[in-house]
Structure 1
Amino acid sequence: MADSFDDFLPEALRFRSPAPLIDIGANLTHESFNRDLEAVLQRARAANVTKLIVTGTDLEHAEQAVELARRYPGLYATAGVHPHDASHWNASMARDMAALHKEPEVVAVGECGLDFNRNFSSPQAQERAFEAQLGLAAESGLPLFLHERDAGKRMQQMLHAWRDDISQAVVHCFTADRATLYGYLDLDLHIGLTGWLCDERRGHHLRELVGAIPLERLMLETDCPYLLPRNLPAKLKGRRHEPALLPWIGREIAHWHGIGEARLAEATTATATAFFRLPHTDSEGLQHG
């Protein structure tokens, strides 16, 4: 039986942002959301997370993301092929992706990029698929939703070659070092931060970098169901991350940025609204079920 809207999150994890938030990276097509998606969206709304960008990481999940965006007001989709799946890229997929990019629910090309950490697809296959998707972004005029791991130098080289042809790009779930961050900012890119910053084992270095990211370049995301913050004040059964916990990430980032929660929420929401060209009115946000 699915958990109800009210009883899934412990009281200590029922956060509410002082200003509306946008989660720019929610993997809501993941099977863990199949049983209670409407309750997940209700909890997000209760937390004042008013819009969600549903990540499409391959053709199947991009199509599912578009369907969710059609069904639920306040949801939008990205459409791309993750570097892990780059070996599957072919001409047919390129045509299908180009068609998806014409759908009004799709607000970015991606998730695409380079991942030389795990190399589930070869670096050569990753670069080929990424180059093709840079071309699709230039053709469609849509912004890019980027993934990069241990490939900052090569990513910057490829983006530099295309920078005059693409509109905007966000490096989602940024986890790299200061030099890589500055390289992306020099390319006039946006940066997405997640609960990785809340991980004292792996994300501690990000706390010193937060203040270097201008607010007009910064956006927030959960990357749910992954990257559950490790420093939450209570245990979460199942350990599945969800958008309702985004205010906790915002609180942490605001602290390390040296500003108030409300200011961070207002700034990052304004940045995401402009970047993804979303409606400005809250009437276009998540609705109560």
Structure 2
Amino acid sequence: MQLIDIGVNLTHPSFAQEREAVLARAIAAGIGQMVLTGTSLDDSEQALELCRQLDEEQRLYCTAGVHPHEASHWDSGSAKVLRGLLQEDRVRAVGECGLDFNRDFSPRPQQEKAFEEQLALAVELQRPVFIHERDAADRLLAILKDFRDKLPAAVVHCFTGERRALYSYLDLDLHIGITGWICDERRGTHLQELVKEIPAGRLMLESDAPYLLPRTLRPKPKHGHNEPAYLPEVLTCVALHRGESPERVAAHTTDCARRFFNLPAL
């Protein structure tokens, strides 16, 4: 089985001393390709550089965008810088962008402005969008509806919402990313019921490493950090609750991710 991890925060400082080892463990675990997440302009540039430095086998690609937590830094020059990044071959999607009304690290009007301008860039350059949403589904949907017909595709990364939000996203023909949140007996049990509602061809898997270590993973790593090599644990949980074999889920989620990000076959 080969998997594609669509969300890896390889720029995170916790990986700084062992990025090559993390990638080697991922490949050994059957992770054929990985999409590194850009969360700010600087972070997106670093993700692109890691793709160039660490990969000669077409395994690493990345997104470029400004996370809602960083939206207060979005200014008149940000779109120009981002446009340049999005024209690099290794950059395959706009994001991580969206709305976060849970933590509100940036003012909501600034979040909305940054999100709208990044969606406009995605339309202009015909790139898919990698979306972050927390406690903001209604507002995000209202904004996204004005752009959706002109976007090639969009995925709600690390979906953790409720049934109404899921159905609304699917009605807009969005893709859904599922992480180790589904393995969490404290807060992810609702996803175990909802994951079967996501059609094949719209579902993708992601680690969101180093966050969201699957709580069902045994043995647990001493360092407590998640990494792409643990994505098969998410696969196992998703397969169980969809009533499909792991092989079947691996096949359709990998095919979906490859088409969404326009990744080459290995």
Given the two structures, how large is their TM-score scaled by the length of structure 2? 0.98
Partner residue, 2:202: 217
> Structure 2: how far apart are the matches of 1:200 and 1:124?
35
Q: 1:232 aligns with which of 200, 217, 226?
A: 217
Pair 1:153-2:135 in alignment? no
Aligned counterparts of 2:113 and 2:229: Cα–Cα separation in 1: 37
Alpha-carbon shift at residue 91 of structure 1 (Å)? 1.4
SS at match of 2:5: strand
Find the partner of 1:103 among 52, 64, 88. Answer: 88
Partner of 1:91: 76
Match for 1:223: what amino acid? D
Report the counterpart of residue 13 of structure 2 in structure 1: 31
| % identity of equivalent residues | 56
Partner of 2:112: 127
Kept in 1, the 8 Å contact 2:39–2:97? The answer is: yes
Please state how far the C-alpha of 1:235 moved relative to its aligned partner: 2.2
Distance 2:238 2:244 in 1: 9
**What's the CA shift string for 1:186-239, capped at 9, x where partnerless?**
000000000000111111110000100011000000000000111212121110
What are the Cα deviations for residues 241-273 of structure 1, in whole angstroms up to 9, with x where unaligned?
000000110010000011000010010000000
Once superposed, what is the RMSD of the aligned Cα atoms? 0.6
2:55 pairs with 1:70: no
Equivalent-residue separation in structure 2 for 1:118 and 1:164 (angstroms) = 30
Residue number in structure 2 paired with 1:15: none
**Partner AA of 1:36 in structure 2:** E
d(CA) in 1 for partners of 2:33 and 2:50? 13
Q: SS in structure 1 opposite 2:95? A: strand
Runs of 4+ in structure 1 off by over 3 angstroms are: none
TM-score (norm 1): 0.90
SS of alignment partner, residue 130 of structure 2: strand
Tell me the amino acid that sits aligned with residue 97 of structure 1.
Answer: L
Give the letter aligned to residue 102 of structure 1.
Q
User: Helix, strand or coil: the match of 2:210?
Assistant: coil
Aligned ranges 1:155-234 → 2 under 5 Å: 155-234=140-219
Q: How many residues are paired up?
A: 263
Aligned residue type for 2:19: L
Distance 2:37 2:169 in 1: 21
CA distance in 2, matches of 1:91, 1:82: 16
Of 234, 251, 256, the match for 1:266 = 251
Give 5+ residue unaligned stretches, structure 1: 1-18, 283-289
Gaps of 5+ in 2: none
User: 1:40-70: CA deviations, max 9, x gaps?
Assistant: 1110011010100000000111001111111
Higher relative contact order (CA 8 A, sep 6+): 1
